[in-house]
Amino acid sequence: MTTKVLLADDQALVRAGFRSLLARAKDLAVVGEAASGEEAVRQAESLRPDVILMDIRMPGALDGIEATRRILELLPGTRVIILTTFDTDEHIFEALRAGASGFLTKEVDPAELRRAVAVVAAGESLLSPGVTRRVIERFTARPRPTANLESLTARETEIVALIATGLSNEEIAQTLTISPLTVKTHISRAITKLGVRDRVQLVILAYESGLTER
């Protein structure tokens, strides 16, 4: 099955570069390009891509964050990967809260880019443990309760807290001496109970609720 990708970046050279890199993967196909947030929304609604590579800083009335928010309201099944020049971009946290499934710097390695698109298309979230953790820690310096964590079991709470530290399912399994499948099951249940979109949203909630401070 071919994954349809939409490129949204105001620089034609950047779009051309990503198109060239993605063309090397037989199961990925770039179906469209957009040079602004408004165009990205229109293209997404028309082409219905599986994954969108979205520049966080776009010209016009809609930047990458607002474009992401509007696209996901229209097409909740679409996945958005935010592109940024710097891994400490102050707007990354806002983009994750808008529903983005993760982010990449524009200097990403070609193989990593293709892997990232495949991972997100499969329904997973793209969390770069160290970078994502630094960004979220910076912009949630003052945690505030936003959800009722009491609905989680002790094990689910423990796993959500470990996710927020940047650990993968395999690492969490090793830490708790349980199987990766069990970890995945607990994560799925936590996502359902808390009504969040995915793993990225779990991380954000963990920091906002103060769970990582306990």
Q: Are both 77 and 114 inside the same structural domain?
A: yes
The yes-or-no verdict on residue 19 having pLDDT over 80 is: yes
Beta bridge partners of 52: 6, 80
Beta strand pairing call for 102-105 and 28-34: unpaired
**Residue 48: predicted pLDDT:** 96
Q: Indicate if the pLDDT at residue 90 is higher than 80.
A: no
Give the model confidence (pLDDT) of 128-153 as tens digits: 555 555 655 655 555 555 556 788 99
Per-residue pLDDT at 128: 57
| Count of C-beta atoms within a 10 Å radius of residue 213 | 9
pLDDT, tens only, 30-40: 999 999 999 99
Average pLDDT over residues 171-185: 92
Do 150 and 117 lie in a common domain? no
The CATH number assigned to the domain holding 197 equals: 1.10.10.10
Q: For residue 92, what pLDDT is reported?
A: 73
Same domain membership, residue 101 and residue 34: yes
Which has more confidence, 182 or 84? 182
pLDDT of residue 99: 86
Note the pLDDT of residue 137: 60
Q: Please count the structural domains in the chain.
A: 2
User: Where a domain ends, among 67, 94, 126?
Assistant: 126
pLDDT score of 125: 73
Full DSSP string of 21-87:
HHTT-TTEEEEEEESSHHHHHHHHHHH--SEEEEESS-SSS--HHHHHHHHHHH-TT-EEEEEESST
Please give the helix or strand (H or E) that residue 132 lies within, else none. Answer: helix 129-139
Find where tokens 């001496």 sit: 177
Question: 3-class DSSP state for residue 9?
Answer: coil
Q: What is the mean pLDDT of residues 173-196?
A: 91
Considering only 27-36, 106-115, 169-178, which range has the smallest mean pLDDT?
A: 106-115
Cα 32 to its chain centre, rounded Å, is 20
- Same domain for 117 and 158, yes or no, is no
